[in-house]
Amino acid sequence: MQQTLQPTTVRRRSGVRRQDTSAVWRYIALFVLAFVTLAPIFVMFATSLKTPVEIQSRIPRWIFTPTFSNYQEVIVQYRMIPFLISSLVIGLGSTVLTLLTAGMAAFALARMRFAGRGIFAQTTLIIRMIPPAVIAVAVIGFWISWGIGDVVEGVRFSLPNRLGRGDILDGSQLGLMLFYTALNLPFSVWLLFGFIQQIPVELEEAAIVDGANIMEVLFKIIFPLMGAGFAVSAIFTFRIAWNEFILALFLTSRFTKTLPVFASEFIRDDGVLWGQMMAVGSLIAIPPLIITFFAARQIIQGMTAGAVKG
Amino acid sequence: MRTRRFVPYLFLLPAASILLLGLMVPLYNSIVLSFYDWNFGQPWSDKVYLGGENFRRLVSDPVVWRSVRTTFVFGFWVVLFEMTIGVGLALLLEKPVRGASVFRTVFVLPLMIAPIVVGLIWRYLLDARNGVINYYLNSVGEAIPILQNLGFQTQEWLSDPSLAMVSIVVSDVWQWTPFIFMIVLAGLQGLPASIMEASYIDGANWRQMTWFVKLPMLRNILLIALLMRIIDVFRALEVIYIMTNGGPGSVTRVLSLHLFQTAFTSQDLGYAATIAVLLSVILIVFSVILMIFNNPLSDRTA
């Protein structure tokens, strides 16, 4: 013990001195990187607060009087609120559906042995990378071939199930929730699987002995202990559902489009309506940015879970 | 845990049905559709059965293979830059610094922003007339005229065929380098301290530690990160759709964008489904390779 301790103390001492000079460089590198990372995002928010004249000016101004006229315009003139609600409904709906179904599947995979377990596990891993574009092409095929959905404006579908004028929930939104949940399930199942494995099995055994059934074990013992896992899984599901564009473009109706689809419509043949587009872009970016400020650690945990064994 | 035999299936049922309806059925439908000639707007009954005609067309379609090549070229450059910068940074910043959590938050931001928003940000920054990047390039060029020959002047970033690829690579590197950085950093911090100490005692310097100890030990993680990026390059199309829409000409038309345009713009759904099958096969092959290196089932139940 004495012998191994000595070299490390020496190393630590010399390391400190070296760190003094190299720490400066490290901070310079970090600040440059932080600037490169933040500047583009800042430009978007700044542009969204400028007038058309300021945006069209060749000289970028960093100091200007901010105006909310772009936001006012997209909300009042372009009637954004229903699309914001549509985005929220789809995002939150997919998240809840993913947590519930992935949680149950992960519990079965982690705690039970049964025929077909390996096949289910491997299938999820093999099909998890099917991209939204592939789903979009196929969905249009089978929705039409099965007679579901009427063709609206050539490419947009919705079931005639409109809840009043607001179209808060229609077939296209339920469809999107299904696809976003499916796109996220494999990742979430494996993430939650890892979390359940860390819960001592004795807890469940004790509950069973006390007369709890398997549903009570899952909902009263396991799920309450999985807050951290659910948080990571929810962040990633919401991120996909909130940000996704291709499937939403194909599947939502004129009334139920999500914010990314709405934003893309400011690219016109005769140019881009930058002010309005940056305003909608900022609104799309705000929820993920807020989530990042509160849960950066969990996000990194989720991102590295796929590559680094934790 | 002892339960009735049907219980595990009951627990898997919701997830399995969603996967079936949301992923497997669409995949199956793509395969079915790829045997037909069918366009948007036509009733489904007007479809024409072609047998393998779509696949024969695919194999000899230079446009498709050019887009596959474009995807690989794009993938090569983004992976090269992202891996180099990401790994370099992780090695540089391996030791904990004060304020690490603030920097960590900053670096996660680009990964959370919608691809469509990333696309519009970079389209604006690189805009030839109003773009911030051109303005500062120009200013530097005017201040130091000699640099003008080195490109410090107004550039048509998104409409010049030789620069469009550079532009989409830049936006991707901006968004995804932090991903590599974080994965490698987590890997570095997970390396056993005893080995690091042992090689230090043996007199290894920083360069030797990096090349002969750390990077070899991280080989698996680097491979997984690389595969994940390649898979993502094949899946994603939103940023490119917004920035260049594949142009000028077809310089930046990657395979997934070509699929999207065949379905959405040309409305040739039968052939689009054929391209979708090709894209799915490519992605399933990569997924299987990824599964071999990184199988959660075998890792954690061991």
Among A218, A239, A275, A265, which residue's Cα sits nearest to residue B1? A218
Considering only residues A153 and A264, tell me which one the structure prediction assigns the higher pLDDT. Answer: A264
In one letter, which amino acid is A124? T
Between helix A117-127 and helix B269-293 the angle, nearest 10°, is: 120
Which residues on chain A are in Cβ contact (under 8 Å) with B197? 4, 7-8, 11
Shortest Cα distance, chain A CAs vs residue B61, angstroms: 19
**Cβ within 8 Å, pair A55-B130:** yes
Q: Tens digits of per-residue pLDDT, A82-111?
A: 899 889 999 999 999 999 999 999 999 998
Q: Are B12 and A105 in contact (CB under 8 A)?
A: yes
Q: Which of A119, A134, A142, A179 to mutate to test the interface with B (most CBs of B within 10 A)?
A: A134
Q: Which of B29, B47, B125, B201 to mutate to test the interface with A (most CBs of A within 10 A)?
A: B29
- Which member of A104, A130, A296 has the closest CB to residue B11? A104
Residue with tokens 């000028």: B248
**CA B146 – CA A258 distance, rounded (Å):** 49
**Cβ within 8 Å, pair A105-B107:** no
**Cβ within 8 Å, pair A57-B16:** no
- The enclosing H or E element of A196 equals helix A171-197
Q: Which of B5, B10, B11 to mutate to test the interface with A (most CBs of A within 10 A)?
A: B11
- Which member of B30, B93, B182 has the closest CB to residue A30? B93
Q: Tens digits of per-residue pLDDT, A294-304?
A: 988 888 888 88
Which residues on chain A are in Cβ contact (under 8 Å) with B300? 193-194, 197, 309
CA angle B26, B32, B35 (to 5 degrees): 140
Q: Tens digits of per-residue pLDDT, B45-74?
A: 778 888 888 999 999 999 999 999 999 999
Size of interface A-B (CB pairs under 8 A): 325
Shortest Cα distance, chain A CAs vs residue B50, angstroms: 16
Among A17-26, A205-214, B282-291, which stretch is predicted with the lowest mean pLDDT?
A: A17-26
Closest residue in chain A to residue B294, using alpha carbons only: A307
Strand blocks (E) in A143-302: 150-152, 156-158, 267-268, 271-272
**CA A12 – CA A18 distance, rounded (Å):** 10
Binned at pLDDT 50, 70 and 90, residue B38 comes out as: confident
Among A60-74, B23-37, B113-127, B288-302, which stretch is predicted with the lowest mean pLDDT?
A: B288-302
Average pLDDT of span B79-104: 87
Average pLDDT of span A275-292: 94
CA dihedral B229, B233, B235, B239 (to 10 degrees): 120
Shortest Cα distance, chain A CAs vs residue B251, angstroms: 20
Q: Tens digits of per-residue pLDDT, B273-290?
A: 999 999 999 999 999 998
Please classify residue A286 by burial: count the beta carbons closer than 10 Å to its beta carbon, then call 0-12 exposed, 13-18 middle and 19+ buried: exposed
- Which member of B21, B105, B256 has the closest CB to residue A133? B256
Three-state DSSP state, A170:
coil
What is the value of ipTM here, to two decimals? 0.90
- Which member of A130, A136, A183 has the closest CB to residue B280? A130
Shortest Cα distance, chain B CAs vs residue A40, angstroms: 7
Closest residue in chain A to residue B178, using alpha carbons only: A37
Shortest Cα distance, chain A CAs vs residue B121, angstroms: 6
Q: Tens digits of per-residue pLDDT, B204-219?
A: 888 888 888 888 888 8
Considering only residues A144 and B44, tell me which one the structure prediction assigns the higher pLDDT. Answer: B44
pTM value?
0.88
Q: Which of B113, B180, B255, B271 to mutate to test the interface with A (most CBs of A within 10 A)?
A: B113
| Residue B113: pLDDT over 80 | yes
- Which member of A23, A121, A296 has the closest CB to residue B97? A23
- Looking at residue B268, what is its pLDDT? 87
- Looking at residue B116, what is its pLDDT? 95
Those of residues 277-296 in B touching chain A at CB distance below 8 A are: 279-280, 283-284, 286-288, 290-291, 294-296
